[in-house]
Structure 1
Amino acid sequence: MNSILTNPLYRPLLEIIKSARNGIVYGGKLRFSHALVISLLYKSGPLKPRLISVLNATKDHASVLASFAVIYKFTILILKNDSMFGDDKNIGLIKFLAGCFGSWIVYSQHFNIFHSGITHQITLYCFSRVVIAIGKILLDQYLNCFQPNFRNHNTNQSIKYRDLNNVQQKKLKNMIYNKSWKYFAILVWGLVMFIYDYQPQYLQSSLRHSMAYIYDVEMDSWSNWREFLGI
């Protein structure tokens, strides 16, 4: 058995199996804790059906991550051995195509195999991270390619980006990141509150329900502190 694990011939297959295993473990841990908390805090009724729903959600989340991992890694293996793509210079393109192909099967709901709520949640989670990452990449490309001037507040002199030391460059980038995040957060929360008031049915159901629970308290009535605190 150890000879199989150390044999380079089986290495690609073992990597696919390992990725699937890690997807199951990560998805199981993440969804189980989240679904358990939601079920205990916000759902009512007998305990057994709620626990079954938690286990089903855990299974669905784990199967999504594991399936995408297998398809993604297997597609990379095929493309790397293809005469057209099999070049180290094309590894970025290979991974992009593998990601697109895997998401077409798993996340796009084209085949309606996987739980739509979970695939939507994961995709939207990744979307926000992708947008922020692209913003940072574009900023780095702009600073490195155009070498803009910045004013040194201590000497009141103009200095190009390339003439800043590493500490100054890092501080400048963090300052721009923080400012862009501030405006991004303001815009997102302004829009989500507007949409929730204007056309709430277009928001994701879990987001809509959580917002209703937190913000729609105008019609609530309380006769004592126990009712007010919900205890």
Structure 2
Amino acid sequence: MSILTNPLYRPLFEILKSARNGIVYGGKLRFSHALVINLLYRSGPMLPRLKSVLEATKNHAEVLAAFAIIYKTCILILRQDNFLGEKNIGLIKFISGCFGSWIVYSQHFPIFHSGITHQITLYCFSRVVIALGKIILDNYLSCQQPKFRNSHGDLIKYRDLNNQQQKKLKNIIYNKSWKYFAVIVWGFVMFIYHFQPQYLQSSLRHSMAYIYDVELDNWSNWRDFLGLF
């Protein structure tokens, strides 16, 4: 039996595998993003710009790998019988996520790149809000059993709908809620950008200035207007 297939070392290799995957995913994601941003929107010598791309890639990979190591290690420790045990796996993952975030994402420790941890956390926040909305909706439909009108105009309870009808109904509600969510978010974004732009994230603020503050630009010919050099 090799060390890789030995059950005794399985938890350790799971931690290392998660860290490896975090490095690969973070590297691929940040490299492509940083490369495009540097090539399209920044000027200057090419070598410093490429160094900036590699630095951003390294920082992103470090963040994902570090969180993976801490998270998986906490799970390994807390699921032991001396702590919370196997029966509390949901609580264990919540605590592990909080502890890993306290070390990596909360910026309590000046170890990891604050801009990257900020971006990742905001990205996750939007997904958490949408997921929680769907969870609340599903529980409401299952517990309250509201009535809906079918194609014939008859009232029918949620539990009396077949699986396809329930899925279709949920998709309709999801789509409508997303429309209102998008309207409110972008309304607030443009409102805050107009009155107090300094409170928005720097990358968002800069991209909005580039796209929307065109009244500040001057151009005398088509070359200037199209940004051709």
What is the TM-score of this pair, normalised by structure 2? 0.98
Which whole-Å CA distance do the structure 2 matches of 1:147 and 1:84 have between them? 39
Q: CA RMSD in A?
A: 0.8
Alignment of 1:94 onto 2:62: no
Q: Which residue in 2 is equivalent to 1:205? A: 202
Alignment of 1:176 onto 2:145: no
Cα offset, 1:84, TM superposition: 3.6
Cα offset, 1:87, TM superposition: 2.7
Q: Which residue in 1 is equivalent to 2:53? A: 54
**Structure 1, residues 27-66: CA drift from partner, whole Å, max 9, x if none?**
0000000001001111111111111011000000000000
Structure 1 counterpart of 2:124, which letter? C
**Structure 1, residues 95-148: CA drift from partner, whole Å, max 9, x if none?**
000000000000000011100000000000000000000000000000001111
Structure 2 counterpart of 1:119, which letter? T
Which whole-Å CA distance do the structure 2 matches of 1:219 and 1:22 have between them? 44
Moved more, 113-122 or 214-223: 214-223
Gaps in structure 2 of 5+ consecutive residues: none
Q: Which residue in 1 is equivalent to 2:36? A: 37
Q: Which residue in 1 is equivalent to 2:3? A: 4
Describe how 1:25-174 pairs up with structure 2 within 5 A: 25-88=24-87, 90-152=88-150, 154-174=151-171
Which whole-Å CA distance do the structure 2 matches of 1:211 and 1:82 have between them? 52
Cα offset, 1:195, TM superposition: 0.2
Which whole-Å CA distance do the structure 1 matches of 2:99 and 2:25 have between them? 22
Q: Which runs of 4+ in 1 moved over 2 A?
A: none
How many residues align structurally? 228
Q: Which residue in 2 is equivalent to 1:222? A: 219
